[in-house]
Amino acid sequence: KQEVTQIPAALSVPEGENLVLNCSFTDSAIYNLQWFRQDPGKGLTSLLLIQSSQREQTSGRLNASLDKSSGRSTLYIAASQPGDSATYLCAVPSTYNNNDMRFGAGTRLTVKP
């Protein structure tokens, strides 16, 4: 059974800092991994999708890496801003043959002005 763990559970940083969020998963037979952000009381917004053949994806100040063999992904946020404050979630398929995503519990990020 795929289990997804995110560390840390919460993170508070001053504006401008670079930071790294971690995601680990137990079944490495995945074909993609997706990072989302969730603002309080809102749905999920897709940030980045990494296919299993890729090692990283970049979008603006965000960079996500994937090490499938070790069951890990990181989300790097450069020059953090107060608007980045949200909960960040990673999701992977439950098995290679399924597309149903299983989520970590998330990292709650606070960026202080």
Partner 1 sequence: GAGVSQSPSNKVTEKGKDVELRCDPISGHTALYWYRQSLGQGLEFLIYFQGNSAPDKSGLPSDRFSAERTGGSVSTLTIQRTQQEDSAVYLCASSRHRDEAFFGQGTRLTVV
- Interface with partner 1 includes 110 (CB under 8 A)? no
Tell me how far apart the alpha carbons of residues 11 and 111 are, in angstroms, rounded to a whole number. Answer: 8
Residue selected from 18, 26, 45, 59 as contacting partner 1 according to rule CB under 8 A: 45
Whether the link from the prior residue into 8 is cis, omega within 30° of 0, is yes
How far CA 105 is from CA of 5, 38, 91, 96, 97, in Å, comes to 7, 12, 10, 21, 23
Residue selected from 21, 23, 24, 34 as contacting partner 1 according to rule CB under 8 A: 34
- Interface with partner 1 includes 59 (CB under 8 A)? no
Residue selected from 15, 78, 105, 110 as contacting partner 1 according to rule CB under 8 A: 105
Q: Which residues of the chain form contacts with partner 1 (CB under 8 A)? A: 31-32, 34, 36, 42-46, 49, 89, 91, 93-94, 98-106
